[in-house]
Amino acid sequence: DDMTKLAYLHEPGVLHNLACRYGLNEIYTYTGNILIAVNPFQRLPHLYDVHMMEQYKGATFGELSPHLFAIADSCYRAMINEHGSQSILVSGESGAGKTETTKMLMRYLAFMGGRSGTEGRTVEQQVLESNPVLEAFGNAKTVKNNNSSRFGKFVEIQFDKYGKISGAAVRTYLLERSRVCQVSDPERNYHCFYMLCSAPPEDVKRFKVGNPRSFHYLNQTSCYEVANVDDAREYLETRNAMDIVGISQEEQDAIFRVVAAILHLGNINFSKGKEIDSSRLRDEKSINHLKIVAELLMCDEKLLEDSLCQRVIVTPDGNITKPLDPDSALQSRDALAKTVYSRLFDWIVDKINNSIGQDPDAISIIGVLDIYGFESFKVNSFEQLCINMTNEKLQQHFNQHVFKMEQEEYTRDEIDWSYVEFVDNQDVLDLIEKKPGGIIALLDEACMFPKSTHETFAQKMYQTYKSHKRFSKPKLARTAFTINHYAGDVTYQADYFLDKNKDYVVAEHQALLNSSSNNSKP
């Protein structure tokens, strides 16, 4: 159950050991003080009940079978004994079970640091109930995972001098904004859209939603349901979780008004206007959807239409209003949807944090990091590059933790050891993020030139990295490029890199949102 004890430590041996243990329903295995978890893809409640928590409470590390609770317990003990903060990093590829693992870790820490017999909503209860709320708005079905986190999360649990939970904070990173407007088979958009469409009849009527098949942002894919998930029940459970984390009924209604408004926004279409390069609402349906969006967002209808169909250019001689052609108006519509959704998500996170409350006098914290897993799909874009770069960083931390530090310790203690060869991935990180000269730096540079296209950006990469051993150009590719990551080769399509990297908030959209009379507006 500890792979450092294998007589011959090599990849086939490690895989064989994991497979044998998995066959015996042993999903956890140690490698020193690191826990490897293999996703069982089924619920195993007996592994995580209070009885199991009691067993691991205070047990010496390695004394009992490998388990998540052993890691959480040793982390808690180290915090108490050493009076210092701790972090648990949960990493793995997409669909490996990171989010569920994070939830179990938080449950154990709540069990250890909870205050027995306290009245009302406890901090630990609010921390645990923040999970379903964040999952409703930040998770979606992807190719490999029915409940994939499309954002990164760092949960800070704060403790007082008695080792009791005194506060908490949730920090989020890299929400996948593009999913709001672009989804491909067999994936879905964010869960909250489908929950709202399956809400009780009075809510469906109030928020003016209906069959998900009738909304452009949901019907780009043929997947509307997830196996073994009841969206109607999830809607009610999410509302209940919102109650517990301190989001009022009025605020909940405001949140779902925004969700509904985004769905209707996606159904607004444009045709050519009377003037050259101008646009107007295409038909009666689009006019109707625009009215509903204005009503739900509580903003002026004309202001909304103008913010979609034109841009105001500021010049030294005054402002010039420039009309947008139908394609640009569609891009403007999608940009507004992404801005509104990401603002909504940030507002929900802030609301949860304010409700739970942070403890400025906390003695120490335990942080749990649940970040996107390594991704390699049929089509990989800018989001995948950011996600995979983050995972390269985690891999480097792992390498330093396991190999470099151990080897330095042996040298310090003058212990004779044979050098263990490990793949150092600093060259991949330099390729992506080095300033100047990395891919991100080239992309930022390309975004500063109005005439740059994804093709000119790709050509610049081919030219710059033609001799880099981690970079290659697929045959016949015009915009694709391949990076040799620690977890294998990933081919990226550079087609939307420039747009996604620019992703700024348009001034007209900002003015529109500021004008909304929605009292509890996100």
Q: Give the domain ranges of the chain.
A: 261-348+505-515, 382-502
The pLDDT, as a whole number, for residue 508 is 83
Point out the catalytic residue in the list 139, 142, 145, 516: 145
Point out the catalytic residue in the list 167, 273, 373, 438: 373
Residues 6+ apart with CB under 8 A from 49: none
Task: Give dist(CA 76, CA 401) in Å, integer.
Answer: 20
Q: Please indicate whether residue 355 is annotated as part of the active site.
A: no
Mean pLDDT per block of 10 residues along the chain (522 residues) reads: 85 94 95 92 92 96 96 97 94 88 94 74 86 96 91 95 94 94 94 98 97 98 95 98 94 97 98 94 97 96 95 84 94 95 96 92 94 89 94 89 75 77 88 97 94 96 97 96 96 94 81 75 54
**Which residues on neighbouring strands pair with residue 158, listed in sequence order?**
167, 365
Q: Please indicate whether residue 94 is annotated as part of the active site.
A: yes
Q: Please indicate whether residue 279 is annotated as part of the active site.
A: no
The pLDDT, as a whole number, for residue 134 is 97
Point out the catalytic residue in the list 101, 131, 139, 148: 148
Ligand-binding annotation for 168, yes or no, is no
The pLDDT, as a whole number, for residue 241 is 95
**What is the third-level CATH fold of 261-348+505-515?**
Four Helix Bundle (Hemerythrin (Met), subunit A) (1.20.120)
The pLDDT, as a whole number, for residue 5 is 86
The two tokens of residue 130 are 């923040």
The pLDDT, as a whole number, for residue 465 is 98
The pLDDT, as a whole number, for residue 412 is 83
pTM: 0.90
Query: What spatial distance separates the first Cα and last Cα of the chain, rounded to whole Å?
Result: 49
Ligand-binding annotation for 101, yes or no, is no
Task: Give dist(CA 156, CA 366) in Å, integer.
Answer: 6
Ligand-binding annotation for 140, yes or no, is no
Strand runs (DSSP E) across 240-332, as ranges?
Answer: 270-272, 279-281, 310-315, 318-323
Ligand-binding annotation for 103, yes or no, is no
Q: Please indicate whether residue 318 is annotated as part of the active site.
A: no
- The alpha carbon of residue 150 and the mean position of all alpha carbons in its chain are separated, in whole angstroms, by 3
DSSP string of 115-161, one letter each residue: PTT--S--HHHHHHHHHHHHHHHHEE--SS-TTEE-SEEEEEEEE-T
Burial zone of 82 (CB within 10 Å; 0-12 exposed, 13-18 middle, 19+ buried): exposed
Task: Give dist(CA 504, CA 402) in Å, integer.
Answer: 40
Q: Please indicate whether residue 189 is annotated as part of the active site.
A: no
Give me the residue label for tokens 């009379």. 517
Residues 6+ apart with CB under 8 A from 94: 142, 144, 145, 148, 372, 373, 374, 375
Ligand-binding annotation for 93, yes or no, is yes
The pLDDT, as a whole number, for residue 433 is 97
Ligand-binding annotation for 62, yes or no, is no
Q: Please indicate whether residue 84 is annotated as part of the active site.
A: no
The pLDDT, as a whole number, for residue 506 is 79
Point out the catalytic residue in the list 135, 234, 251, 375: 375
Rounded-to-5 percentages of helix, strand, coil across the chain = 50, 15, 35
CATH of domain 382-502: 1.20.58.530
Q: Please indicate whether residue 95 is annotated as part of the active site.
A: yes
Ligand-binding annotation for 94, yes or no, is yes
Pairing mode of beta strands 165-173, 152-159: antiparallel
Are 173 and 371 in contact by the 8 Å Cβ rule? The answer is yes
The pLDDT, as a whole number, for residue 511 is 84
Ligand-binding annotation for 92, yes or no, is yes
Point out the catalytic residue in the list 17, 101, 149, 189: 149
Pairing mode of beta strands 480-485, 270-272: unpaired
The pLDDT, as a whole number, for residue 119 is 58
Point out the catalytic residue in the list 26, 39, 85, 95: 95
Q: Please indicate whether residue 163 is annotated as part of the active site.
A: no
